[in-house]
Every structure is written in structure tokens, then in C-alpha cells.
Amino acid sequence: MTGDERQHVERIPGARRARLTRVEGTLDDSDAEATLRDDEPEPETTDPVVARLRREKPPHYS
């Protein structure tokens, strides 16, 4: 790894935290967050109670 491929610290005025520069071949923040989300559909069920429980999510989940 050469010096050009390394991440560098970017200081952001007014922000509490610094940010690292992106390295070629890695995911940016929005792409990384998308991989963490559960985008797979839930399996279908014939049990009405289970189906209702899967539809109803607690308010803090949204």
C-alpha cells in the first residue's frame, strides 16, 4: 500500500468528529448502511397470528 492509497483525516469546521477520506475499492457511507439494512422479504406464513405479529412493529422500530 502506497501513501496515495491510505486514508487521510479531514477536519470539518464546526463538527465534533473528523472524517476519513474514501479509499478506492471500498464502500462509501450510504452503500455501507444499505448493506446493513434487512431488505429481504419475510417468509410467508399461513398462521394469521404470526402474520399479524410480523406486520405490527413497535413504534421504536420505525
d(CA 45, CA 42): 9
d(CA 12, CA 21): 12
| Under 8 Å between Cβ of 35 and 27 | yes
pLDDT bin (cut points 50, 70, 90) of residue 61 is confident
Question: In this predicted structure, what is the pLDDT of residue 60?
Answer: 79
Contact criterion met (CB below 8 Å) for 18 and 26: no
pLDDT at 13: 92
Percentage of residues in the chain having pLDDT higher than 90: 8
Please check the confidence at residue 4 and state whether its pLDDT lies above 60: yes
Q: What is the pTM of this model?
A: 0.35
